[in-house]
Amino acid sequence: MNTRPQGAPSGRIGRVVVINDVSVVRGGATAIALTSARMMRDRGIPVTFVTGDRGDALTPADRGIVFEALQGRHILEGPRAGAALRGLYNADAARALARFIARTDTPDTVYHLHGWSKVLSPSVFRALAPVASRLVVAAHDFFLVCPNGGSFDFRREAVCDLRPMGAGCLVTNCDRRHAAHKLWRVVRQGVRRALIDFGTTEALVLAVHEGMIPILDRGGIARSRSRALRNPVMPWRAERVAAEANRSILFVGRLEQDKGVDLLARAARRANVPLRVVGAGPLGAQLAAEHPEVEQLGWRDRTQIGALVAQARCLVMPTRYREAFGIVALEGLMSGLPVVLPDHAMLAPEIRDGGFGLTCDPHDEAALAATLRRLADDDEAVAAMSRRGHAHARELAPTPDAWIDALLDLYSERFEARPAPLSPEHGHYPSDALTVDTLRIQQDVVAPTAAALTHVHTDGNARTFQL
């Protein structure tokens, strides 16, 4: 694909509004959202970044982007009861976003929603309803259709093929925490469905991997309303890492249970291979106490990671859930690091068949340890994987320029139907309308869903609820 020169706007796009839960990069979705805003700014397109938080994490790289901070709180902040209700329907966020749209919308403005499940809540779809024809909704994970967001049964440690929100889904305790939390997630999914129907909406859902489309379709997102565009990836370093000459394995990511760093630490000890960890999170203290042999390096920037990968033998991504993409894996591959990732990851078949790395079940400690030991003992195999990944992994993801070209083309398609901009009286979100919305959600969604689930009883299967 030929890239447009920097500073050349695309088609009829007058402005892009990028919307995301947070402005602090602690995951791939936020990194992608900010990258898109910065690249569009560099192409000469006016960009507004709407963030659910206070916007405290802005850097000099964000100059030239207009930031609209909604001043919201993460669902992990504050008293639990209030956070739970806010996570189901954040009325303040809906009102603030709706007023912003009414104040600034134009016929050539396109909206791109990235993360919404941590601050903004499903209420964001209420605010975006008037501009649905110019709305793109990113599917970085499966939260648009799946209550637990992973299309994965964390109790059985297996991929889930149930129809999201179907009878089997509702009676299955698949949550990584506990049954009550699954119930809360089911209610939240019910709220989302009440506010936007992805079978009929004019909005377009953009998946980060083609393999997501059938799962999204099973969850009610019509294939005609979805497209796939893989995330852009650049290597951490241009020259190939001589991985065969190194000994330590590397983990890069959040230190949280869903990322599986605890599984990796146990397997690394069993395989007697050194492990270095780049990242931070709630499992950091536990990891230090239980595995003092693991070298924790905290968060590092790209330049620092580039230096660290030069000393690594392989990168391991032991994610517990069904990873939709896995930018870290491709950043490592393109740098010349062989990658070990779960056999349920979307990229697993391509990486395995391309000879770039190995796959296994990260829940199987013995299997993961054996895989690490195999790589530790076979310099020739590691060298071959390193060379193949460095030479050919680019085929698995676009460059940033190719990606932004494709994204801008997709935005331009949103203007085939060009509704008039919102007027203040139509876009305004007064308190009485907000109250009606909130009461309707409670009456039509929250109460019936909770009542229905309280009649589900255990049948002796550990996977079902007893509420």
Q: pLDDT tens, position by position, for the chain (467 residues)?
A: 444 444 444 458 999 999 999 887 766 788 899 999 999 999 999 999 999 988 877 777 788 999 999 988 888 887 888 888 889 999 999 999 999 999 999 999 999 999 999 999 999 999 999 999 999 999 999 999 999 888 888 888 888 989 999 999 998 999 888 888 899 999 999 999 999 998 889 999 999 999 999 999 999 998 989 999 999 999 999 999 999 999 999 999 989 888 999 999 999 999 999 999 999 999 999 999 999 999 999 999 889 999 999 999 999 999 988 888 889 999 999 999 999 999 999 999 999 999 999 999 999 999 999 999 999 999 999 999 999 999 999 999 999 999 999 999 999 988 765 544 444 444 444 444 444 455 566 556 555 555 544 444 333 333 333 32
- Examine domains 15-232+401-453 and 243-397 and report if their fold is the same: yes
- What token pair was written down for 319? 């994610």
Residues 162, 151: Cα–Cα separation, whole Å: 8
Contacts of 255 (CB under 8 A, 6+ apart): 261, 277, 279, 280, 281, 282, 283, 284, 287
Residues 383, 396: Cα–Cα separation, whole Å: 20
- What token pair was written down for 80? 């639990």
- What token pair was written down for 396? 């698995």
Residues 195, 127: Cα–Cα separation, whole Å: 9
199, 221 Cβ separation under 8 angstroms = yes
Correct CATH for 243-397 of 1.10.645.10, 3.40.50.2000, 1.10.3720.10, 3.40.5.90 = 3.40.50.2000
Residue 444 DSSP symbol = I
**What is the maximum alpha-carbon separation in the chain?**
69
**Which class for 257: exposed (0-12), middle (13-18), buried (19 or more C-beta within 10 A)?**
middle
Helices (H), 105-244: 123-128, 167-170, 179-195, 213-218
Predicted confidence at residue 416, as pLDDT, reads 67
Residue written as tokens 């936020």?
30
Distance set, CA 399 to CA 35, 331, 350 (Å) = 12, 11, 18
Q: Tell me the pTM.
A: 0.84
> Could you tell me whether strands 158-159 and 152-153 are parallel, antiparallel, or unpaired per DSSP bridges?
antiparallel
Predicted confidence at residue 439, as pLDDT, reads 54
In the chain, where the domains are located: 15-232+401-453, 243-397
Predicted confidence at residue 83, as pLDDT, reads 85
Residue written as tokens 């030479």?
391
Q: Which helix (H) or strand (E) holds 49?
A: strand 47-51
Predicted confidence at residue 389, as pLDDT, reads 97
CATH class, range 15-232+401-453: alpha beta
Residue 54: CB atoms within 10 A of its CB come to: 14
Residues 231, 223: Cα–Cα separation, whole Å: 20
Residues 104, 112: Cα–Cα separation, whole Å: 15
What torsion, rounded to 10 degrees, do the Cα atoms 81, 84, 90, 91 define?
A: -40
Number of residues that this document lists for the chain: 467
Picking from 275, 245, 240, the residue whose alpha carbon sits closest to that of residue 368 is 275
Q: Which residues of 130-140 are buried (b: 16+ CB within 10 A; e: fewer)?
A: bbbbbbbbbbb
336, 356 Cβ separation under 8 angstroms = no
